[in-house]
Each structure stands twice: as structure tokens, then as C-alpha cells.
């Protein structure tokens, strides 16, 4: 029996110290110390011993049990220590590695120009209004005095959303004039900027979606001199104090008289080049004195009130401001382009 116990002690201790995983250790515990374990089996034979032998054997069996329990506990502690170290190693963070720098964006150059424009007009006492891109034909055309047969009303020019041509994607920001007068009455001084839509093919100067800034001033005694003075001041603020302007007669249904305003070509200074198509001048906006019919359509008496209005393309403004040659660059959002501003 002594030899049996000695064998158990040796083989068990060997096995326990060799174990590498918790479940295997538990299996060993059962194998040696469990109810049907090897040590227990030996203890069950104690009854066969002589009374003289029993105490010594009992003592030895207890020693073996204690040794095995201690070994299992020790190995268990060693295993969890090892597991903890492995986990820590796996989850280690090297705080000395340089961080990943988030790419920081900035305002689109065209919106920088828009902000500048808003600032200029705010300083002149204008209010800023917002309006819908999905608009009624009534506001986009009819109340602006556009005749039923006006070419811009054609389905080939404008994006209609209803079969009966009553709702559309606004083709200009001018409907904001009507909304402003109807909503707030007179006197009024406002600008409104936003997207407009036309069935244009994409090229260097056209896009089916672009941006306009609309302006409207209505009060008693407003004249063409106010129009010229205001627009000249704004243009010189944006393009520099030396900028030359030219007011050309033109036609718009909602203004009478109407004009287009050009600036001296910023590229060639007036000699004629590809940017100004040999003209020496670049058209930047349309304007005019608000048509009496438009005032009347908004319930305003043209005998008492007069006003001027203007509309300009924001992309073109940005192109001129930053000397950009192709409008498509404004929409493509190529980071190499945008990062230059
Ligand atoms: N809506 C015109 C266009 O899209 C621009 C314009 C011209 C606006 C004259 C006006 C104006 O307010 O008075 O071409």
C-alpha cells in the first residue's frame, strides 16, 4: 500500500505540474482525489490493514492528499497568472505610437464667397431670407410677369414635378421676391441665396444645378441710381476697389427697365482673352427696376412704391473671385482642388 501511495504521489505531481489548461487540471483532480479517484480507491482498502499499520498508512495517505491539493492549487494559480500575462500582452497599447490625425475639412470656397456677400449686404441693412427649391410655377413665373409662352417655361428648359406644370424645381431665386413682398410687405430690403435648377448640359460654364443670390429693395422713392450705387458698392467690395463695371440694357419680364452688369475681365484687364471670350467684360448679374405689374401682383401700389432687384450666379462669382477656370471644379469636390482654398 505504501508503494501504491508513493506511485500515486509521483505520477500525480508529475501530471499536475505538466498541465497547461484549467479543465485538464480539474480532470486530474477528479482522477486522483475524486470519489472514484485513485487515492480514494487506496483509502478504501485501509480496512484490510492491521490495526498497527493503519495509523502510519492513514498519515501517509493524508500527506499525499495534502501534497496533491497543494500542487493543484499552486498549478492553478500559475495557470491563471500565465493567462493574465498573455491577455495583458495581447491588449497592450503602445502609447508612444504617433496618433492618427483626423482629416479636417473646411468651408467650400463658394460658400466662403456667399458668406462674404451676406456680410456685405447685412452691413447695408439687408435681411437674409430662405425659401423652397420645390416651387409653384405661379411664384417662379406667373407672379413674376413671365408670359405663358416665355421660353424658360418650356419643359425642355425647366424641371417640372407635376404633369399640369404647376410645380417645379425653381429655375431662379426670383420667386423669393414674391415670397418676401407677400410675406413681409414693404418697405423691404432682402437677399436670398440658394440652389436653382435648369435642364442645361454640363460644360465649363453650365450645370443643371447651380446657385443664385437674389436681392430686392422696395421703398418709397427708390430709383435706378440706388440700383447702380448699391451694386457698384457690392462689386467693389468683392472684386476690389478698382473694379470697373458696365450696365447694359437688357430684358427681364419682372423688371422695367432691366440691365445686365459686367465687370472688366480680371484675367486680361479688358484686352480680350479666353475667359471673357474676347469681350474684355464678364457678365456677372441681371438687375432692373421692379415691374409695376410684379408690385401689383403682391398687393403693392406702384404709384406709391418702387424698387430694384437683382440676381447673380454664385458659382460665377466664386470663379471670378478665385480665378478658377472651370465651373465643374466647384461641384466635383476633388480634395486636391478644395485644399487650395
Ligand atoms: N432671375 C434672373 C436669371 O435667372 C436674374 C435676374 C435678373 C434677377 C434681373 C433679378 C433681376 O432679380 O431683377 O437670369
- Per-residue pLDDT, 16: 87
Lowest mean pLDDT among 177-186, 224-233, 269-278: 269-278
Q: Which of 36-40, 45-49, 87-91, 263-267 has the highest average model confidence (pLDDT)?
A: 87-91
Asked if 187 contacts 220 with a C-beta cutoff of 8 angstroms, the reply is: yes
pLDDT tier at 330 (50, 70, 90 boundaries)? very high
CA distance 198 to 200: 5
Of 230 and 33, the one with more pLDDT: 230
Does 295 have pLDDT greater than 90?
yes
Q: Is 260 in the pocket of ligand 1 (CB under 6 A)?
A: no
**Bond into 187 cis (ω within 30):** yes
CA distance 298 to 300: 6
Asked if 314 contacts 207 with a C-beta cutoff of 8 angstroms, the reply is: no
Mean pLDDT along residues 194-207: 90
- Mutation probe of ligand 1 site: the residue of 196, 213, 311 with most atoms within 8 A of C-beta: 311
Helix axes 314-322, 109-123, angle to 10 degrees: 100
Cα-based angle 288, 289, 295 (whole degrees, multiple of 5): 130
Q: Is 309 in the pocket of ligand 1 (CB under 6 A)?
A: yes
Cα-based angle 154, 158, 160 (whole degrees, multiple of 5): 100
**Residues comprising the chain, all counted:** 341
Find the 6 Cα to ligand 1 centroid distance in Å. Answer: 107
Q: Is 288 in the pocket of ligand 1 (CB under 6 A)?
A: yes
**57: number of Cβ within 10 Å:** 19
Does 19 have pLDDT greater than 90?
no
- The mean predicted confidence, pLDDT, of the chain is 92
User: What torsion, rounded to 10 degrees, do the Cα atoms 194, 206, 217, 169 define?
Assistant: -50
CA distance 260 to 281: 11
**87: number of Cβ within 10 Å:** 10
Give the closest residue (by CA) to ligand 1 atom 8.
311
Give the closest residue (by CA) to ligand 1 atom 10.
310
Mean pLDDT along residues 161-178: 97
Give which of 270, 332, 286, 293 is closest to 109, Cα–Cα: 332
**pLDDT for 249-288, tens place per residue?**
999 999 999 999 999 987 888 999 887 889 999 999 999 9
Which atom of ligand 1 lies at the shortest distance from residue 288's CA?
13
- Per-residue pLDDT, 26: 86
CA distance 282 to 289: 22
Give which of 25, 46, 48, 28 is closest to 38, Cα–Cα: 28
Strand, coil or helix: what is 268? Answer: coil
Lowest mean pLDDT among 47-51, 103-107, 112-116, 193-197: 47-51
0.75 surpassed by pTM: no
pLDDT tier at 42 (50, 70, 90 boundaries)? confident
Q: Is 214 in the pocket of ligand 1 (CB under 6 A)?
A: yes
The percentage of residues in the chain with a pLDDT greater than 70, rounded to a whole number, is 100
- Mutation probe of ligand 1 site: the residue of 179, 218, 252, 293 with most atoms within 8 A of C-beta: 252
Q: Is 310 in the pocket of ligand 1 (CB under 6 A)?
A: yes
- Per-residue pLDDT, 75: 87
Give the closest residue (by CA) to ligand 1 atom 7.
286
Does 132 have pLDDT greater than 90?
yes
**pLDDT for 58-79, tens place per residue?**
888 888 888 888 888 988 898 8
Does 176 have pLDDT greater than 90?
yes
Strand, coil or helix: what is 140? Answer: helix
What's the alpha-carbon Rg for the chain, to the nearest Å? 44
CA distance 55 to 71: 24
Give the closest residue (by CA) to ligand 1 atom 6.
311
Amino acid at each position: 500500500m505504501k508503494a501504491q501511495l508513493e506511485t500515486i504521489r509521483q505520477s500525480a505531481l508529475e501530471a499536475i505540474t505538466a498541465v497547461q489548461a484549467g479543465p485538464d487540471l480539474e480532470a486530474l483532480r477528479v482522477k486522483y482525489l475524486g470519489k472514484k479517484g485513485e487515492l480514494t480507491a487506496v483509502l478504501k482498502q485501509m480496512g484490510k490493514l492491521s490495526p498497527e499499520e493503519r495509523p502510519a498508512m492513514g498519515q501517509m495517505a493524508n500527506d499525499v492528499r495534502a501534497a496533491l491539493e497543494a500542487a493543484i492549487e499552486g498549478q492553478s494559480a500559475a495557470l491563471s497568472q500565465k493567462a493574465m500575462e498573455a491577455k495583458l500582452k495581447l491588449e497592450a497599447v503602445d502609447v508612444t505610437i504617433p496618433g492618427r490625425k483626423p482629416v479636417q475639412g473646411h468651408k467650400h470656397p463658394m460658400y466662403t464667397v456667399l458668406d462674404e456677400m451676406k456680410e456685405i449686404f447685412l452691413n447695408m441693412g439687408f435681411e437674409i431670407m430662405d425659401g423652397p427649391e420645390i416651387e409653384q410655377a405661379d411664384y417662379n413665373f406667373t407672379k413674376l410677369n413671365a408670359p405663358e409662352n416665355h421660353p424658360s417655361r418650356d419643359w425642355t428648359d425647366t424641371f417640372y414635378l407635376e404633369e399640369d406644370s404647376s410645380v417645379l424645381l425653381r429655375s431662379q431665386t426670383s420667386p423669393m421676391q414674391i415670397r418676401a413682398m407677400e410675406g413681409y410687405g414693404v418697405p423691404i430690403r432682402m437677399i436670398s441665396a440658394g440652389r436653382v435648377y435648369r435642364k442645361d448640359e454640363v460644360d465649363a460654364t453650365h450645370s443643371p444645378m447651380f446657385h443664385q443670390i437674389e436681392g430686392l429693395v422696395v421703398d418709397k422713392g427708390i430709383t435706378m441710381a440706388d440700383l447702380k450705387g448699391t451694386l457698384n458698392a457690392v462689386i467693389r467690395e468683392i472684386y476690389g476697389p478698382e473694379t470697373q463695371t458696365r450696365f447694359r440694357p437688357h430684358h427681364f419680364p419682372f423688371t422695367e427697365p432691366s440691365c445686365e452688369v459686367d465687370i472688366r475681365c480680371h484675367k486680361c484687364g479688358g484686352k480680350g482673352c479666353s475667359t471673357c471670350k474676347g469681350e474684355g467684360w464678364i457678365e456677372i448679374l441681371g438687375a432692373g427696376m421692379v415691374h409695376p405689374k410684379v408690385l401689383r401682383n403682391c398687393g403693392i401700389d406702384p404709384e406709391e412704391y418702387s424698387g430694384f432687384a437683382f440676381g447673380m450666379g454664385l458659382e460665377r462669382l466664386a470663379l471670378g473671385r478665385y480665378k478658377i477656370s472651370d465651373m465643374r471644379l466647384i461641384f466635383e469636390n476633388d480634395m486636391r482642388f478644395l485644399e487650395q482654398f
